[in-house]
């Protein structure tokens, strides 16, 4: 299977050992390269737009540790700030001023967030926000969309994206029916389906949660009327609108998708970028709703390491870099060049593709498209994607090892990196 011109002896050794120690040899499923075949590259270090594996191969990286590395890996200012913070200790378990600073930055940036609670991952943010949706409305049902991923909590493992989609898994064993019977699903970009669910479940739906731009079923932007339509429908039915901006927050605009599309959700989840590469998640929104969270209110949610000083430091420094003028214009330009270039080369070399980009997020499907939802995305030629992925790897380009994951650029990606990537794509696509 793995007939590579890359020297990967050490990666192979380490991954073989890992498979005896950890299920599938990894700490998170998609990393195992199962859907693209071959075996994963074991990383040694990361810097700027590049990663190096344990065999010394260098790659241009479009995964960016799944989103957080938006300023480039190991940004010197982030590393310096972390060194300084480290001297003061690694965990407090008590209030610290760094939480205020990051909270203020998040509240200033994200239009709908008036108060915020920090947690340790996107999963934790989403499971907490779900509890809050239910606590606030006194209703139990929620609507999510097929192919959207909101972390691995039981209630969300219904028609989920990311690794669940990548591995083609049915809804996970171990998730009791009783925890998902209140999870209703609709196809993304389908307002009629959402309307029907509201009509079939009067006064029972706590809210609608979605990735405002899908990244976990591949890259799928919202159709023009979709987000405004959801805002209207939820308001009409006394339900909450929740944007899961764990991926899009501080990525497709400083204020996330809600700023980009001018839609005010009631609640928002964040993660990835706001941790600057350390484990952080957050949820926030309207003050009257957030006041329900303990100890201000009765809805319980807690965390030993939440608000961790190192994680807050990396987040603060990352947002400071991002908020400098021109950051998002740069991401937009560099990413569009990449996405447009890939589409053009694919078409010139005779492949049916579709895709696009918004700011530092992009995607390419091996299907004519258009892709409006997960069902459309699944029409992609996955075999072709696998060969493309492997070919790019051998040409020194590290793409997400799944058709059902968006790609990410960073402030560290230069025009030269894009040129080299497109040159590699031209060679690989010609032989697909």
Ligand X SMILES: *Cc1c(COP(=O)(O)O)cnc(C)c1O
Active site (catalytic) residues: 149, 244, 272
Within positions 181 to 240, which residues make up the interface with ligand X, using CB under 6 A?
211, 215-216
Min separation Cβ 23 and ligand X, Å: 17
Please, which residue, 361 or 429, has the CB nearer to ligand X?
361
193: which strand partners? none
Position 150 contacts ligand X (CB under 6 A): yes
Position 247 contacts ligand X (CB under 6 A): yes
Which residue of 151, 163, 212, 229 would you call a contact of ligand X, by CB under 6 A?
151
Tokens 């007939």 locate to 3
Alpha helices in 8-121 (DSSP H): 9-21, 76-86, 97-109
Residue 407 contacts residue 219 (beta carbons within 8 Å): yes
Position 306 contacts ligand X (CB under 6 A): no
Which residue of 50, 149, 219, 398 would you call a contact of ligand X, by CB under 6 A?
149
Min separation Cβ 151 and ligand X, Å: 4
Please, which residue, 230 or 246, has the CB nearer to ligand X?
246
User: Which helix (H) or strand (E) covers residue 31, if one does?
Assistant: none
Which residues neighbour 309 within 8 Å (Cβ) at sequence distance 6 or greater?
85, 88, 89, 90, 91, 92, 96, 98
Please, which residue, 38 or 249, has the CB nearer to ligand X?
249
Position 244 contacts ligand X (CB under 6 A): yes
Min separation Cβ 216 and ligand X, Å: 5
Long-range contacts, stretch 64-69, CB < 8 angstroms, 24+ apart: 64/408, 64/409, 64/410, 65/277, 66/272, 66/400, 66/405, 66/408, 67/215, 67/247, 67/251, 67/272, 67/273, 67/408, 68/272, 68/273, 68/275, 68/276, 68/277, 68/318, 69/277, 69/408, 69/410
* Binding mask of the shown chain, residues 253 to 282, with x at each position contacting ligand X by CB under 6 A: ------------------x---------x-
Of the candidates 118, 91, 83, the one whose C-alpha atom is nearest the C-alpha of residue 275 is 118
CA separation for the pair 239, 61 (Å, rounded): 40
Within positions 90 to 129, which residues make up the interface with ligand X, using CB under 6 A?
121-123, 126
Pick the piece of the chain touching ligand X (CB under 6 A) from 46-54, 92-100, 243-251, 395-403.
243-251
Position 166 contacts ligand X (CB under 6 A): no
Position 146 contacts ligand X (CB under 6 A): no
Tell me which residues touch ligand X (CB under 6 A): 121-123, 126, 149-151, 211, 215-216, 244, 246-247, 271, 281
């Amino acid at each position: 299977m793995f007939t590579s011109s890359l020297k990967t002896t050490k990666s192979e050794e380490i991954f073989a050992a890992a498979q005896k120690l950890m299920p599938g040899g990894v700490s998170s499923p998609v990393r195992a390269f199962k859907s693209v075949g071959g075996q994963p590259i074991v990383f040694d270090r990361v810097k700027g737009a590049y990663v190096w594996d344990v065999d010394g191969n260098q790659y241009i990286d479009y995964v960016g540790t799944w989103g957080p590395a938006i300023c480039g890996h190991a940004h010197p200012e982030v590393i310096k700030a972390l060194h300084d913070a480290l001297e003061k200790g690694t965990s407090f378990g008590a209030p610290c001023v760094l939480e205020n600073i990051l909270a203020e930055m998040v509240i200033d940036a994200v239009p709908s967030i008036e108060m915020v609670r920090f947690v340790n991952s996107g999963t934790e943010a989403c499971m907490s926000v779900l509890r809050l949706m239910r606590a606030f409305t006194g209703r139990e049902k929620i609507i999510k969309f097929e192919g959207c991923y909101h972390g691995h909590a039981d209630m969300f493992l219904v028609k989920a994206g990311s690794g669940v989609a990548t591995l083609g898994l049915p809804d996970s064993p171990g998730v009791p029916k009783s925890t998902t019977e209140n999870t209703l699903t609709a196809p993304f970009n389908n307002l009629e389906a959402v309307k029907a669910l509201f009509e079939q479940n009067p006064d029972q739906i706590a809210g609608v949660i979605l990735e405002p731009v899908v990244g976990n079923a591949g890259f799928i932007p919202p159709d023009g009327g979709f987000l405004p339509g959801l805002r209207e429908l939820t308001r009409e039915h006394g339900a909450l609108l929740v944007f899961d901006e764990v991926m899009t927050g501080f990525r497709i605009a400083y204020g996330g998708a809600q700023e980009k599309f001018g839609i005010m959700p009631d609640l928002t989840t964040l993660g990835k970028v706001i941790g600057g590469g350390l484990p952080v998640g957050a949820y926030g929104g309207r003050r009257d709703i957030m006041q329900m969270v303990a100890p201000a209110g009765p809805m319980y949610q807690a965390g030993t390491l939440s608000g961790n000083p190192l994680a807050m430091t990396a987040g603060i420094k990352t947002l400071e870099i991002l908020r400098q003028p021109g950051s998002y214009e740069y991401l937009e330009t560099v990413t569009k060049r990449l996405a447009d270039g890939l589409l053009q080369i694919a078409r010139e070399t005779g492949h049916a593709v579709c895709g696009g980009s918004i700011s530092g997020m992009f995607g390419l499907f091996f299907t004519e498209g258009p892709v409006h939802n997960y069902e459309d995305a699944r029409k992609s030629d996955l075999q072709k994607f696998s060969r493309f992925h492997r070919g790019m790897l051998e040409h020194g380009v590290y793409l997400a090892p799944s058709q059902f994951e968006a790609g990410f650029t960073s402030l560290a990606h230069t025009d030269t990196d894009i040129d080299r990537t497109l040159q590699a794509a031209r060679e690989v696509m010609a032989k697909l």
